[in-house]
Structure 1
Amino acid sequence: MQALCEDDPVRVADYRLLGRLGEGGMGVVYLARSPRGRMVAVKAIRRELASLPDFRLRFAEEVAIAQRVGGDWTAAVLDADPHAETPWVATAYVPGPTLADVVTRHGPLPERSVRGLASGLCDALADIHAAGLVHRDLKPSNIMITIDGPKVIDFGIVRALDGPTHGGLTSSGVIVGSPGFMAPEQVRGERLTAACDIFSLGSVLAFAAGGRLPFEAPEGRPHALMYRVVNEEPDLTGVPDPLLPLLRDCLAKDPAARPSLAALRERDETQFRHLGPWLPAPVLARLGQDAAQLLEQEDPRTALGDGALLPPPAPVPREETLGAPGPRPAVAGTAPVTAPDLPVSPGPSPTQPRTLAEERNGGNGPSPATVAVYIMLALYALVAVGATVKQLDMLESTFDTGWGFDEEIAWMWGYAQVATAVGLIVAWLIWCSRTRAAAEEFAPGRLRYSPAMAVRSWLVPFGNLYLPKQIANDVWHASSPPAAGGAMAPAAPLHVWWAFWLISAITSPLFWWWGAFEWATYDNFVRTRPDEYVYVLETNGLVALVLRLLVVPTTVAAAVYVHRLTALQQARRAAL
């Protein structure tokens, strides 16, 4: 990271800039700190690009599309303002060097590392293409190297530069993109498909394995590079022999001749066995040094000694701030772009920093929908327990009459169960809708069913015996932080809750007839004297007792499931 220049702003909207990460054709990338202290990468777009006709509209559309990209191999878009005087976009900061830096400093990567690189990049492109995007600018400087694998940045944003005016190649004398990694059809200005990313992938892997551009030209002259990309075969000198078939297939001039991404992911060259570190020792040492330097970065607002926050800085002159916070006009046809980590309500005062619990909960605690579910689960269980206690109390008791007693006692408890069940259903459907919407923030576009199905699936005959579980699995996994090896957090509470739900759903006809209303009918009373009856447990009464007792573990399992999923989503939201 480099220090800020004199003409760099102090802030971009709500983000305080700490230094420069790099500069490219679209603008300058800064390391910044969000209001909650998270490190982010903020790219400020060049003013000459922002002045191009329709640029802001296309930029806003591309940001909205890029927000759909999820997965472990890309840096997510967190916030943006295409309407600021200088448009900007904030993405998750990925600590580590770029692939270009690694190869320049340490030389070509060994074959094992190239296989790991190929595996991760194929997964990243799969996430990008699944969101309906073509990266169009896959190159070593857009690939960050981390201990867990490569991460692709700048996905989708470069599409905002494509148009009849500038064609995505040059603007005001600035080269946008990397000629040495463009596909031939991209150089010729033809319609681009996902195949152009396959060509760029081959160029990137050739660079990583051989330490040089596959279409290298003297002094790196752009026009010579583009000529060789279109007309000459790649120079794969230094590439290990086992990787040559893969690279030659990816670098085919004809897009139709290149393998599909699905076919690439099945090839042996892209398979990586996790039997140890995927990077050589010198690169791992570099990553450790970068992590240590990141920890040393200080926020100018933080005082030394007691850790208390200094008062907020005085208002910064307009020329020192880009995209000052304020209302942002919406773009027609696109959803508003907001930052998940920006507080939506006034937080603690600057002299009272948030506690860890407040940070994890977003400072708001359980949502009203979650609280309503807890309350209705408790009421539903209490009514079932109350009816059970009353039924047990009636055993061996003597009554003056048996006929009509159900209208006085059993039906009263039955109506209470119906009322609490209706309240629980309403609260549950609202909660399911909210949790499904939250999961969309963590894995945009990657869940199998639409948000509306989180509600409708419970009301589909027979479908409610399997559809809600599939949606619950998706929501749980999207809300769970990846564990070691990429596995999701265990979902035992989900399975226990679902097992009880299936039992309850299958036995519901018996429950609502015998368990609610028919457990104290005339058949359950035995006449001992002409005017006396004794209540006994006949078949319907015994079944009612068992089904009501089942309500207790069912509601407990549901409450545990709600608690765990809510905690997962609060932790994920706090980590954004």
Structure 2
Amino acid sequence: MTTSTPPRAIPGGVLNVITPQSQRLVMSRRGSTVWRVETEDPETEKTDAYAVKVGFPSETHAHTALAPSREAYILRTIRTNVIHDGEWAEGTWSVQPWHSGPSLYSKWGPHRAPGSSAVPNFMDALSCAAALSDLHRAGWVHGDVQPAHLIMSESGATLIDLALARGRTVPEGVDFPYRGCLVHYEAPEISRSVLESGTAVPTCESDVYALGASLMISATGWRHVAYPDEAPREVQRQAIADGPHRPVTIPGELGKLVNAMLMPSPADRPTAAEVCDALCLAL
């Protein structure tokens, strides 16, 4: 569980769409509280799990209050699952199916162990690239690809946390500018634009870069660019903008592919679909 701000309780509006039998706090930080809520059908005794996201203004960003409803709108355009959202006193909330499984970073933990010579699973990398390719094909750019947003289950990878996604029209009432994502996975052009203007336009190419950086850190423990953890965001972004990225030490074909995904020029990177094709050929 991650907590850095007082958690917000589940709003009353949520109780109009689900009846919690149990709830567990998962995260509360940067203007977002997330609960894992379980419900039970009294007739079938079947248990379902949901993610309840509660948005509110953070110390640095007011738009976090709108994020749950913005994500809910995007999810309804690409998934058949029932997604609910609404407003509460400090912002918006959403209810969506819970996706079970470890993150990519957690699943690849053994590869980062000292002395490990294991090669990361190609099928894991392929399912991550396929999830991103499917999103791009649906007309959306994720804008915040990172290992924690790649949930690995037996059926493959699921990309979660789409609140920052761009590509198709979003209702004005829940929309807000894109001001970058978690810096550890930003492409150079995104960091450069945020430094210059305060905003950026994420692209399919910047998503591919972020996926490459996610695969790299999950397999090796190293960020794509070196900078001090305690450095201000501006300093971190400048290091990314100036480059170059660290050498990719993942062995074999996967390492070559990740290196291509981290090319400085967006035009030189493969598409997510091409990453899938290359991984299929390497299997």
Q: Partner of 2:78: helix, strand, or coil?
A: coil
Give the CA deviation at 1:213. Answer: 1.1
Give the CA deviation at 1:270. Answer: 5.0
Contact 1:30 1:41 in 2 (8 A): yes
Residue 191 (str. 1) matches residue 172 (str. 2): no
Superposition pairs of residues 139-538 of structure 1, within 5 angstroms:
139-157=146-164, 162-163=176-177, 167-169=178-180, 177-187=181-191, 188-189=193-194, 190-219=200-229, 221=231, 222-236=233-247, 238-267=249-278, 269-270=279-280
Contact 1:116 1:271 in 2 (8 A): no
Question: 2-side partners of 1:53 and 1:94: how far apart?
Answer: 25
CA offsets, 1:347-391, max 9 Å, x none?
xxxxxxxxxxxxxxxxxxxxxxxxxxxxxxxxxxxxxxxxxxxxx
Give, as a single letter, the amino acid of the residue that structure 1 aligns with 2:205.
A
Give the CA deviation at 1:61. Answer: 5.3
Corresponding residue for 1:333?
Answer: none
Compared CA separation, residues 161 and 248, structure 1 to 2 (3 A)? farther
240-249 vs 60-69, which moves further = 60-69
Question: 2-side partners of 1:144 and 1:54: how far apart?
Answer: 22
Corresponding residue for 1:30?
Answer: 35
Q: Partner of 1:245: helix, strand, or coil?
A: helix
Give, as a single letter, the amino acid of the residue that structure 2 aligns with 1:232.
G
Give the CA deviation at 1:105. Answer: 7.5
Question: 2-side partners of 1:6 and 1:55: how far apart?
Answer: 15
Question: 2-side partners of 1:245 and 1:182: how far apart?
Answer: 20
CA offsets, 1:67-110, max 9 Å, x none?
12249xxxx562211x3223112222122232334456773694
Corresponding residue for 2:129?
Answer: 122
Compared CA separation, residues 2 and 262, structure 1 to 2 (3 A)? closer
Give the CA deviation at 1:139. Answer: 0.3
Q: Partner of 2:77: helix, strand, or coil?
A: coil
Residue 65 (str. 1) matches residue 74 (str. 2): yes
Corresponding residue for 1:18?
Answer: 23
Corresponding residue for 2:119?
Answer: 111
Q: Partner of 2:229: helix, strand, or coil?
A: helix
Q: Partner of 1:21: helix, strand, or coil?
A: strand
Give, as a single letter, the amino acid of the residue that structure 2 aligns with 1:111.
V
Q: Partner of 1:88: helix, strand, or coil?
A: strand
Give the CA deviation at 1:156. Answer: 4.5
Contact 1:183 1:229 in 2 (8 A): yes
209-218 vs 195-204, which moves further = 209-218
Q: Partner of 1:219: helix, strand, or coil?
A: coil
Give the CA deviation at 1:117. Answer: 2.2
TM-score by length of 2: 0.75
Compared CA separation, residues 29 and 7, structure 1 to 2 (3 A)? closer
Compared CA separation, residues 237 and 87, structure 1 to 2 (3 A)? same
Q: Partner of 2:250: helix, strand, or coil?
A: coil
CA offsets, 1:537-557, max 9 Å, x none?
xxxxxxxxxxxxxxxxxxxxx
Question: 2-side partners of 1:32 and 1:87: how far apart?
Answer: 17
Higher helix share: 1
Q: Partner of 1:200: helix, strand, or coil?
A: helix
TM-score by length of 1: 0.39
Corresponding residue for 1:87?
Answer: 92
Corresponding residue for 2:102?
Answer: 97
Corresponding residue for 2:197?
Answer: none
Please list every run of 5 or more consecutive structure 2 residues that lacks an aligned counterpart in the other structure.
Answer: 42-46, 167-173, 195-199
Question: 1-side partners of 2:133 and 2:158: how far apart?
Answer: 13
Question: 2-side partners of 1:80 and 1:184: how far apart?
Answer: 34
Q: Partner of 1:218: helix, strand, or coil?
A: coil
Give the CA deviation at 1:182. Answer: 1.1
Q: Partner of 1:217: helix, strand, or coil?
A: coil
Give, as a single letter, the amino acid of the residue that structure 1 aligns with 2:74.
I
Give, as a single letter, the amino acid of the residue that structure 2 aligns with 1:96.
G
Question: 1-side partners of 2:128 and 2:226: how far apart?
Answer: 22
Compared CA separation, residues 2 and 212, structure 1 to 2 (3 A)? closer
Corresponding residue for 1:436?
Answer: none
Question: 2-side partners of 1:11 and 1:215: how far apart?
Answer: 40
Give, as a single letter, the amino acid of the residue that structure 2 aligns with 1:180.
H
Corresponding residue for 2:9?
Answer: 9
Higher strand share: 2
